[in-house]
Structure 1
């Protein structure tokens, strides 16, 4: 086992994946990591307001950034010699759209406030935070594709710690509308870090207007606006519709369950940061056999991680939540299953990114978002907020099937074996069914985890060692 661990850590793919996992849990897992604190400082209703604000930050981040971070990874391979100039020119293009949106926000602050349901004094903060949130995402993508995980890790840890500390101070200083403290704490940290990273990219590149780079990036990024907005609709329409149909308190409970389920999404986001540059490199080398083989073990590993998280989810929820949120505990595994399908569909999506066929990505996400909204309209009034979890699973399942078919269509090379996906889905489906029968008997749950761990390690340790030596 010691030899196997050393071999794993010597692999660039595994090593970067480990560090990206740590960093991503800090950067993208802020909502999860701070649940025990903020669930005790804020009521479900206040958390519902924060959920809605965060949703619109995501929307404006996409509108202001016009999807340009989508071109960062591919540009690393097409503009090796002048990559820094390429990046600074894209960031300047996003700056232009930011100024336009800021002017719109100042002029139409009250109508925008009425439209999206937040107070007028938060509109400008939302727009500014959205731009610098885009800058953080832009820089994060750059560091990922360059395997600069130490810089990514530093930004993730320090920004998270400051965010949490500042938010607590601001919340404790308020007696009414305490959600202002959480919103402003996160916004201020995002803006400060965004300004610093913006300056670094612009100073290194020193290129503002470059039509060559813009013409290259826009055909890749513009379809991604549609994709990302549809993705927001897919992930956040649940909360918005629950708020409108049921109420803010139920939105807060659902938001708690959703954040718990995001553990799987965070694990995927971290592993994907390591997987994408490796996948692009192997595609460029036309090393399709290695991609296919490692994809198999990637699916096995992530299925195993999802299985464990589902089986320990009741304990995690009890630790991080309070009695006010206990109704949402049973929904957590369902959300996790939904994000398992996000992991699965990301594999063929990376092929679409590599071949620059991003129009297919936008179309698929839009269709899944429409399906999710329609299903929510039908089932939330009948079954309450619990229905939103199941509609999310159904939508992501459809999205996976769509992207797998598209991958077959756009490439003659078969780097994905359908049976690997089927085995993974069957494993998660069966283990989830077992979980709901024994969810209240923790001894049996942890006994099954132990048994599966031992079987997995002894079954695959030799094969994994061979793969890592390649």
Structure 2
């Protein structure tokens, strides 16, 4: 039966599913390890230590975005240029990352005491965060190379290996520390970021060249610079609502919303995993003007996402019972709203690809910034009035605005030779949304 189904699919769709399966496997595996670690770490750490790790991880994420300089995007885009100097481009970007990263590290270290006090973070943790962000930027760039070259199986194996051993080392170090046990996570991240820094260089040893070119740096600076703002704004959108709920309503309500958001992120994880498979196929199809391939795969992609969203919503009560005690049950009502928001995120991710291909990253950053401001304003106005549940609706509205803005940008400003079939992509999503709302009301 499976072979018969494979025979009915075109090669592009089979390729999409093959790579999508690998990325999804890696995402599910890593997310599963994260879930497994929660009951273990909460028993090894005090609540304050657990909270300190959360702050540390947020800072590492922020610094990693800055140190990354948007090179994940530029490497992915330059690969599809007609130039035959990709190896030298990759090498120039490594030198660019290390040079700017070194300057950023010196600057941050010079003001380490002031920054540590501002963030209310122990000074050693700030220094470790700088080192982790610096080394992680190189590996993240190589990850982008693995994705555009469709080495999804290798990507998955590396992710799973890193996830397993990182968890084991973290728990082991934490267990044997007599005090400051929160440093177990920090030491583990530091160890693996350094290991994978050198391993990433080993992976590209046969293709990377170090014939430095300022044109390569200029390309990355102009294309990747705005991406930093885009990623930072996206990071704010994903975390700021919880900070505002905690400030305006209370910690208990923040816990409810955070739980609902994490359940919704099961669906988001699927979207992101399949998007990792979609992007290289999309860029390659645009390069060769294979627009029919884009239409066929994007429509099937849309049907899959729409069906999965509906299935997850239908089993939301059961999923929630497995993940949390009954005390969290009141948060179940907003999970469908959060999932619908992520469905709009899926739609805008499809259309944002045209902007990436056209190198309009400044426009991407501007749209993300405006949507981020919109999200913060809506939460600031409505959370005090309607409570924490309204944050799910403001998130939905923000992703809807993202989709509308990127669709208008593609149609009116980028104007590609041909845009993917709008009805075929959007209609299944809208039908699924209506069914989700109807199911939630009933």
TM (normalized to structure 1)?
Answer: 0.84
| 1:414 pairs with 2:418 | yes
Find the partner of 1:385 among 388, 396, 408: 388
Find the partner of 1:60 among 63, 69, 72: 63
> Would you say how many aligned residue pairs link Structure 1 and Structure 2?
438
For the 8 Å contact 1:135–1:194, the answer to whether it is kept is yes
Instruction: Return 51-60 or 184-193, whichever deviates more.
Output: 184-193
- Counterpart of 1:306? 309
1:24-423 matches, cutoff 5 A: 24-27=27-30, 31-32=34-35, 34-35=37-38, 37-38=40-41, 48-78=51-81, 81-173=84-176, 179-201=182-204, 204-207=207-210, 209-246=212-249, 251-322=254-325, 328-409=331-412, 410-423=414-427
Cα 1:273–1:125 shift into 2, 3 Å = same
- Counterpart of 1:432? 436
Per-residue Cα deviation, 1:220-273 (whole angstroms, up to 9, x for no partner):
111111111111111121233334444556545543433332222221221112
Counterpart secondary structure, 2:121 = coil
Structure 1: 5+ residue runs without aligned partners? 439-470
Instruction: Return 37-46 or 165-174, whichever deviates more.
Output: 37-46
Structure 2: 5+ residue runs without aligned partners? none
For the 8 Å contact 1:44–1:253, the answer to whether it is kept is no
Counterpart secondary structure, 1:205 = coil
Instruction: Return 383-392 or 324-333, whichever deviates more.
Output: 324-333
Cα 1:419–1:151 shift into 2, 3 Å = same
The alignment yields a C-alpha RMSD, in angstroms, of 2.8
What CA distance in whole angstroms lies between the structure 1 residues aligned with 2:46 and 2:311?
30
**Displacement of 1:340 after TM fit?**
1.8
For the 8 Å contact 1:85–1:205, the answer to whether it is kept is yes
- Counterpart of 1:458? none
Cα 1:216–1:17 shift into 2, 3 Å = same
TM (normalized to structure 2)?
Answer: 0.89
For the 8 Å contact 1:17–1:274, the answer to whether it is kept is yes
Cα 1:145–1:426 shift into 2, 3 Å = same
**Displacement of 1:290 after TM fit?**
2.7
Counterpart secondary structure, 1:419 = helix
What CA distance in whole angstroms lies between the structure 2 residues aligned with 1:175 and 1:434?
54
For the 8 Å contact 2:291–2:420, the answer to whether it is kept is no
| 1:2 pairs with 2:2 | yes
What CA distance in whole angstroms lies between the structure 1 residues aligned with 2:284 and 2:312?
31
Cα 1:188–1:374 shift into 2, 3 Å = farther
For the 8 Å contact 1:60–1:130, the answer to whether it is kept is yes
Cα 1:84–1:17 shift into 2, 3 Å = same
Counterpart secondary structure, 1:78 = coil
**Off by >6 Å, runs of 4+ in structure 1:** none
What CA distance in whole angstroms lies between the structure 1 residues aligned with 2:255 and 2:199?
33
For the 8 Å contact 2:70–2:220, the answer to whether it is kept is no
What CA distance in whole angstroms lies between the structure 1 residues aligned with 2:120 and 2:339?
29
